[in-house]
C-alpha cells in the first residue's frame, strides 16, 4: 500500500468521522436496513423519494447518506427473506430459498448471523477494491475525449439493456424512450425549446427526481397495494445467534467466492447487487451437492448475501471514476451529484478529493454500523413487519408528494410525478424493466453533448468514433455484445436464466 493511498484514506476518514457525516451515515444505514426489512419499498424508490431532502445537505453528507441507504438495504433484505420468506429487497430473493428453510428448522439465528458476517466481510473487501482500483481508472478516464465518452455511454446503455430482465426488445425500447425523454427542454446550442408542447414548465426539461420518483416510488406502491398481506414470521425461533464451527467452516468458502464474484459483476453496466446474488447462488450449486440446496443449506445464504453486498459497493467504481451509472441506484446518485452542482466523472477525484475519499471511508464505517445495528436488533426489525401496509403506503405517498412539491413549489411537478407513477405501473404490467429507461434518461443529454462536441472537433467527420482507438474498441465491444445476445441460443439461455 503506497504512501499516496494512505494519505488519501486519511483525508477520507477525516471527513467521514466528522460528527455531521457520522450522523448522516448512521441515518442512511438505519433507513437502508428499515426499507430492506419492509417488503415492497426498495432502495431505488427510497433514494428517489429522498432526493429533494439532499438539496439542503452538503454534497458529501448527501452522498454518504444515499450510499448508506443502498448497501444498508442489502443487509435488511436478508432479515425478512430468512424470517418471513419475503425478500425485502430484490437482491434478497435468492436468500429466501435456503434462509427460510433454516428458520423453519429452528436455525434462524445462525442464518441471520452468517448473512450479516458475509455482508460485512464482502462490504469491507469491496471498499478496499474501490480504494485500490478507482484512482488508476480515473487517470485513464482523464485521457478520454468527447468521442471516447460517447462510445463509453453507448457501451453502458447496451450493457444495461442486455442485462435487463425480460424481453430484449422491450429493454431496447425502454432505453430509447429514456433517451427521448432526456431531449425535452431547451436546446443548449440554439436556445430553442424542444418537445415542450408549449408548456413553460417543461422549458428546463423533465426533472430527474420527478421521473425517478414516479416510475420507481409511486409505481412500486401501486403494485404492492394489489397484493394481499400474508406473513408467517418465525421470530419465536430466533435463538442462539452464534453459528457453530461447522457453519463457519461450511460458509467461509462460499463467502469468499460470493465476494469475488460480486466484486466483479458489480462493475458491469446493469450489474450490481441483484445479478451478483443470483450468479453466486448458481455457482455454489454447480460446485456443491445440489440436493442440499433449497432445504436449508447455509452456503445458499452465505454466498448470495456476500455477493449482493460486494456488487452493491463495487458498482460505485464506474460512477466515481467515469461518471457512468451501472444500475438505477447509481443513476440516482448521479442525479444527486448534479443537484449539488457536481459534474460526475474522473475530475471529481482530483478536484474534490474530500468528497471521493470521504465517501469511500464512510463505507467502512457504515458496514461496521450495520453489523451492530442488525444482529442485536433483529426482534425490533421483525416487529415492524406487523405494521399493516394500508397504514404504511398512504404516509409514504404523502411524503413523496411533499418532497416533489418542495423542489420548485409547482403543483405541475406533483401532477407530472403522478402521471409517471401510472406509466411506471403500466410498465410493471407489461413486464418492462424501468432500469434502462432511467439510465437512458440520465445518459441521453450527456451523450448528445459529447456527440455534438466530437462532431464539431472533427468538422463533421463521423468516422472519428471508429478511427480513435479507445472509442473504436468500446463501440466494437458494444456491437459484439448486442450481436451475441441476439443469437437465438444465447437469447434462450438468457430467458431461462432470468426465469430461474
> What pLDDT is recorded for position 86?
67
**More confident call, 202 vs 89:** 202
pLDDT digits (tens, 9 = 90+) for 16-33: 899 999 999 999 998 888
Is pLDDT of 1 > 70?
no
| DSSP letter string, 225-290 | HHS-------GGG----SPPHHHHHHHHHHHHHHHHHHHHHHHSTT-SHHHHHHHHHHHHHHHS-G
Instruction: Dump pLDDT digits (tens) for 296-322.
Output: 788 888 888 888 888 888 888 888 887
Phi, psi of 42 (to 5 degrees): -80, 175
- What is the reported pLDDT for 212? 79
The phi, psi pair for 231, rounded to 5°, reads: -135, 130
Mean pLDDT value of segment 140-168: 81
Domain tally for the chain?
Answer: 1
Q: Under a CB-based contact definition with an 8 Å cutoff, are residues 488 and 169 in contact?
A: no
Q: Is the predicted pLDDT of residue 89 greater than 90, yes or no?
A: no
Q: Judge contact between 72 and 30, C-beta under 8 A.
A: yes
- Tens of pLDDT, residue by residue over 164-179, are 667 788 888 999 999 9
CA distances from 259 to 109, 127, 168 (A): 22, 11, 29
Look at residue 229 in the predicted model and tell me its pLDDT.
56
pTM above 0.85, yes or no: no
Q: What is the pLDDT of residue 32?
A: 85
Task: Out of 59-63, 225-229, 264-268, pick the least confident.
Answer: 225-229
Asked if pLDDT for residue 224 goes beyond 80, the answer is no
Mean residue pLDDT of the chain comes to: 81
For residue 211, pLDDT over 90 is answered with no
| CA of residue 483 relative to chain centroid, distance | 26
Instruction: Calculate mean pLDDT across residues 39-48.
Output: 72
Residue-range definition of the domain harbouring residue 51: 3-499
Q: What is the pLDDT of residues 381-438, one digit of tens each?
A: 767 766 776 777 787 788 778 777 877 778 888 899 899 999 999 998 888 888 788 8
pLDDT in tens, 341-375: 887 777 887 788 888 889 888 988 988 888 887 77
The answer, yes or no, to whether residue 254 has pLDDT greater than 70, is yes
Amino acid at each position: 500500500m503506497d504512501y499516496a493511498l494512505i494519505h488519501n484514506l486519511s483525508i477520507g476518514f477525516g471527513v467521514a468521522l466528522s460528527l455531521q457525516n457520522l450522523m448522516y451515515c448512521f441515518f442512511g444505514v438505519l433507513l437502508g436496513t428499515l426499507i430492506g426489512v419492509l417488503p415492497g419499498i426498495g432502495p431505488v424508490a427510497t433514494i428517489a423519494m429522498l432526493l429533494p431532502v439532499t438539496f439542503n445537505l452538503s454534497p458529501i453528507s448527501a452522498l454518504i447518506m444515499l450510499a448508506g441507504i443502498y448497501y444498508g438495504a442489502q443487509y435488511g433484505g436478508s432479515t425478512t427473506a430468512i424470517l418471513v420468506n419475503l425478500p425485502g429487497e430484490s437482491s434478497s430473493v435468492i436468500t429466501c430459498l435456503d434462509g427460510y428453510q433454516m428458520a423453519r428448522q429452528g436455525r434462524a439465528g445462525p442464518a441471520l448471523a452468517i448473512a450479516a458476517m458475509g455482508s460485512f466481510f464482502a462490504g469491507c473487501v469491496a471498499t478496499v477494491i474501490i480504494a485500490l482500483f478507482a484512482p488508476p481508472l480515473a487517470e485513464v478516464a482523464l485521457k478520454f475525449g468527447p468521442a471516447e465518452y460517447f462510445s463509453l455511454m453507448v457501451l453502458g446503455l447496451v450493457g444495461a439493456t442486455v442485462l435487463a430482465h425480460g424481453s430484449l426488445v422491450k429493454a431496447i425500447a425502454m432505453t430509447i424512450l429514456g433517451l427521448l425523454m432526456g431531449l425535452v427542454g431547451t436546446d443548449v446550442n440554439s436556445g430553442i425549446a424542444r418537445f415542450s408542447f408549449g408548456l413553460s414548465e417543461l422549458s428546463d426539461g423533465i426533472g430527474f427526481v420527478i421521473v425517478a420518483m414516479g416510475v420507481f416510488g409511486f409505481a412500486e406502491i401501486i403494485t404492492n397495494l394489489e397484493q394481499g398481506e400474508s406473513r408467517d414470521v418465525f421470530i419465536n425461533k430466533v435463538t442462539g445467534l452464534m453459528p457453530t464451527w461447522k457453519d463457519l467452516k461450511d460458509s467461509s468458502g462460499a463467502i469468499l467466492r460470493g465476494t469475488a464474484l460480486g466484486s466483479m459483476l458489480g462493475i458491469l453496466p446493469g450489474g450490481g447487487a441483484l445479478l451478483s446474488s443470483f450468479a453466486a447462488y448458481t455457482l455454489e450449486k454447480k460446485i456443491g451437492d445440489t440436493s442440499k440446496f433449497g432445504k436449508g443449506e447455509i452456503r445458499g445464504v452465505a454466498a448470495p448475501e456476500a455477493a449482493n453486498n460486494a456488487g452493491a459497493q463495487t458498482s460505485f467504481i464506474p460512477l466515481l471514476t467515469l461518471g457512468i451509472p451501472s444500475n438505477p441506484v447509481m443513476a440516482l446518485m448521479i442525479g444527486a451529484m448534479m443537484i449539488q452542482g457536481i459534474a460526475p466523472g474522473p475530475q471529481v477525484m482530483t478536484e474534490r478529493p474530500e468528497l471521493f475519499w470521504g465517501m469511500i471511508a464512510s463505507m467502512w464505517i457504515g458496514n461496521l454500523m450495520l453489523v451492530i445495528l442488525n444482529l442485536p436488533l433483529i426482534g425490533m426489525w421483525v416487529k415492524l413487519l406487523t405494521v399493516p401496509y394500508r397504514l404504511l403506503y398512504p404516509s409514504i405517498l404523502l411524503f413523496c408528494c411533499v418532497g416533489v412539491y418542495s423542489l420548485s413549489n409547482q403543483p405541475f411537478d406533483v401532477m407530472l410525478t403522478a402521471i409517471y407513477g401510472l406509466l411506471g405501473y403500466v410498465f410493471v404490467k407489461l413486464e418492462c424493466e424501468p432500469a434502462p429507461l432511467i439510465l437512458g434518461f440520465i445518459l441521453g443529454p450527456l451523450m448528445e453533448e459529447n456527440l455534438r462536441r466530437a462532431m464539431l472537433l472533427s468538422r463533421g467527420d463521423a468516422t472519428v468514433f471508429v478511427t480513435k482507438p479507445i472509442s473504436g474498441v468500446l463501440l466494437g465491444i458494444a456491437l459484439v455484445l448486442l450481436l451475441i445476445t441476439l443469437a437465438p441460443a444465447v437469447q434462450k439461455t438468457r430467458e431461462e436464466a432470468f426465469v430461474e
